[in-house]
Amino acid sequence: MSIFDEVSVQMKEALRAKQAVRLAALRSMRAGFLNEMKKDGAERLDDEDYRAIGFHDAVRVGHLSLDAVRRIGDPDLLFYNVNSPDDLAHAEELWRQHVSSQ
């Protein structure tokens, strides 16, 4: 299964599980893949190119001031970086706390 197909499957799972943040991230990834595919007229991404940089040209980058970010939420939570299983567990716990406080 290609990475594009895997992201599509993961999107369906996130939708069924009502995981809004996960779904939004996966939609963003899929949009980047689609934009890259449209650029070359390809119907699929190269299955062997798993590099994150493989679709960087398709990603639009903007800049937000810290004040603009703070109007949306806590920057430490909005931009929490997940690099390990422990980070993921901590991020999931933060999300549970956030959801339960709503």
Counting Cα atoms < 13 Å in the Cβ hemisphere of 1 gives 8
Q: Are 59 and 32 in contact (CB under 8 A)?
A: yes
Structural domain boundaries enclosing 85: 62-102
The pLDDT, as a whole number, for residue 52 is 63
3-class SS at 18? coil
pLDDT band for position 90 (cuts 50, 70, 90): very high
Quick: pLDDT tens for 15-73.
Answer: 999 888 888 889 888 888 887 777 766 655 555 565 666 667 667 778 889 999 898 88
Query: What is the structure's pLDDT at 81?
Result: 86
Contact 80, 25 (CB under 8 A): no
- Structurally, the chain folds into a number of domains equal to 2
* pLDDT at 66 (0 to 100): 92
- In a shared domain, residues 69 and 55: no
57: CB partners within 8 A, 6+ apart? 36, 39
Angle at 7 between CA 61 and CA 30, to 5 degrees: 35
> Do residue 25 and residue 54 come from a single domain?
yes
Are 15 and 27 part of one and the same domain? yes
